[in-house]
Structure 1
């Protein structure tokens, strides 16, 4: 059995025992390792120390439960493995910058630490061959567009730590931009009916430590721009696509998006000696009761000094 499979067992165990006391010794036994080697391997593969990971996963679950108004905050804390209201409040504020009470009274989009699918770091699939994991179906393909696509919407500068990779916590700035777009979407009459919507991360020209994030919907080329709206053009080129689907839209845009991003950039492109032009595009299609589906589009660029293709 591979090392990552042993650590995945402990990740799954943590999800099942979230409300209980979870000791490192118990997790080490689940993994079949000494406590010393288990903690080293866990941090290496999960990118977080064990206790910090457990705390952040508990907070992620708690933030969902806080939206259930019939549940007391103390009960949420205890159900998620925190010993007291005070301990929970302190941990929540350290992670997100607001208290549980503030979040319940005025919910905002939060970046959550997602449960990892470690197999995605070690499975290199061929193009057009679906990869099925516990929570998503993922496929890599290529597509060429002959005519540039135009989108209209809003943009903002976002800290690089808030990139949608499912590893950081805090207020979700890109998510807030999406909410702003949807609240004003009816005031943009030039949007194509049932047109594709995009979230674009652009590194080029951004201030140090930030990237530009654009949110918008498809419009006809040469559509005039009014007010604070802006347009962005998806250039005609050949793209690598990471296509994935999840059980519902919430799962799609939260943990599935982060897992797909990590797989595309950290595993699939890297193992082929490829990088990309300095932007990536999240393409959102209409979600139905049967499917929640999206794509990540990038233009591949061969890394210098590599012979891989």
Structure 2
């Protein structure tokens, strides 16, 4: 057994017993490791100490259960191992920046700590060969875009430390909130292609400010500016109600196609895991990096064939 497989088994055990007492010693014993080496290996592979990881997974599950308004917050807290309403509120606010009451009132989208898919780090697939890991399927291939694609949407600045990488820095999901705002506005937007894809774009990073711009929008039909919309094309964060036009430019791309069982899982857990695999494993192993830009294309015209694609422009690593 490889060392990562022992930790992967411990992660499965944690998922099955989140509502029970979990000790480091018991996990180490199940993995066949001493507590000392188990804790070191666990933190190395997950990025968190054992008990902190357990707490963050409990908070993630508790956040999903809070959607049931029939359950009292205290009952949710006790169900996931918190000794009191106050202890749960304190931990929830430290993780997400808001209290459980505030979360239940406004339902903002959250970056939560998801169970990592460790096997993906140790599997290297060729271009055009699907990789199946956990509940997702991904495939990487090269494509050339010969004609630019125009999208209409909304844009905002995002703090890098709060969003990258997703799941490791928990809190309000700013891109997710932008998508909510765009979907509320989308029915009233003219000039969008019927059943066309939607696109999320991360670009124009500002290292000094510690931010990047995130765009959320949908494919425009023909010339977006000729569609009669007031479009702002300036290279800065737009006001929440202002539409902006962005283009997926002509060029050579690496495209990572991702499939999952549900759209919710596709745009959260699957996207996070695929991004870590693409940028943390696949690209470095092939001596590649990318331009400081990435696009996520979402396809929802057929509910029985849910998938998305991550588009990046590759560069040799030495450049």
What's the TM-score bracket when you normalise by the shorter of the two chains?
Answer: over 0.9
Q: Which residue of 1 aligns with 2:252?
A: 238
Structure 2 gaps, min length 5 = 232-241
CA contact (8 A) 1:249 1:287 kept: no
Whole-Å separation in 2 of the counterparts to 1:113 and 1:174? 17
CA contact (8 A) 1:247 1:291 kept: no
How far apart are residue 238 of structure 1 and its match?
A: 1.3
- Number of residue pairs aligned between Structure 1 and Structure 2: 305
Structure 1 gaps, min length 5 = none
Whole-Å separation in 1 of the counterparts to 2:154 and 2:208? 18
Note if 1:274 corresponds to 2:274.
Answer: no
- With normalisation by structure 1, the TM-score equals 0.95
Question: What RMSD over aligned residues (CA atoms) do the two structures have, in Å?
Answer: 1.5
CA contact (8 A) 1:206 1:212 kept: no
CA contact (8 A) 2:196 2:301 kept: no
Note if 1:222 corresponds to 2:223.
Answer: yes
Q: Deviations along 1:197-242, whole A, 9 cap, x unmatched?
A: 0000114457521111011111145321505211111111111111
Whole-Å separation in 2 of the counterparts to 1:220 and 1:163? 32
Q: Which residue of 1 aligns with 2:265?
A: 251
- With normalisation by structure 2, the TM-score equals 0.92
CA contact (8 A) 1:165 1:257 kept: no
How far apart are residue 77 of structure 1 and its match?
A: 1.2
Instruction: Map 1:4-43; keep pairs closer than 5 Å.
Output: 4-43=4-43
Instruction: Map 1:1-309; keep pairs closer than 5 Å.
Output: 1-161=1-161, 162-163=163-164, 165-205=166-206, 208-224=209-225, 225-226=229-230, 228-286=242-300, 288-304=302-318
Change (3 A) 1:260 1:88: same
Whole-Å separation in 1 of the counterparts to 2:54 and 2:18? 8
Whole-Å separation in 1 of the counterparts to 2:316 and 2:176? 32
